[in-house]
């Protein structure tokens, strides 16, 4: 086999693989969009809150439902005594609705 023939064969196979990767990515995006809309509808129907990442304190379990001062309910200058409180930020909520 000539070198030019093997080069064209490798080039054609590479282009075919690239086309298949593109089609697969488009298929996955379409499938992911339908799953995302299904999950969004399920969350609305079940009235679920945000993801529970930590189990220590209620202001780290439900970040969107906690106020920014809930970690300091015992005393205004109380230190954070849960390790997960240092890993999370307070939820950003709008006061104007």
Within this chain, do residues 8 and 24 fall inside the same structural domain, yes or no?
A: yes
Within this chain, do residues 31 and 65 fall inside the same structural domain, yes or no?
A: no
**pLDDT tens-digit map of 14-26:** 999 999 999 999 9
**pLDDT tens-digit map of 17-73:** 999 999 999 999 999 998 999 988 988 898 877 777 777 776 677 767 766 666 566
Pairwise pLDDT comparison (79 vs 16), residue with the higher score: 16
Domain count, the chain: 2
Within this chain, do residues 37 and 58 fall inside the same structural domain, yes or no?
A: no
Please answer whether residues 63 and 50 qualify as being in contact, where contact means their C-beta atoms are separated by less than 8 angstroms.
yes
Domain region containing 78: 49-97
- The model's pTM is 0.42
């Amino acid at each position: 086999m000539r070198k030019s023939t093997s080069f064209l064969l490798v080039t054609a196979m590479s282009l075919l693989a690239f086309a298949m990767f593109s089609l697969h990515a488009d298929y996955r995006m379409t499938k992911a969009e339908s799953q995302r809309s299904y999950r969004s509808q399920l969350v609305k129907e079940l009235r679920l809150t945000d993801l529970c990442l930590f189990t220590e304190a209620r202001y780290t379990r439900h970040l969107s439902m906690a106020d920014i001062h809930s970690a300091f309910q015992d005393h205004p200058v109380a230190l954070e005594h849960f390790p997960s409180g240092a890993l999370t930020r307070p939820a950003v909520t709008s006061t104007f609705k």
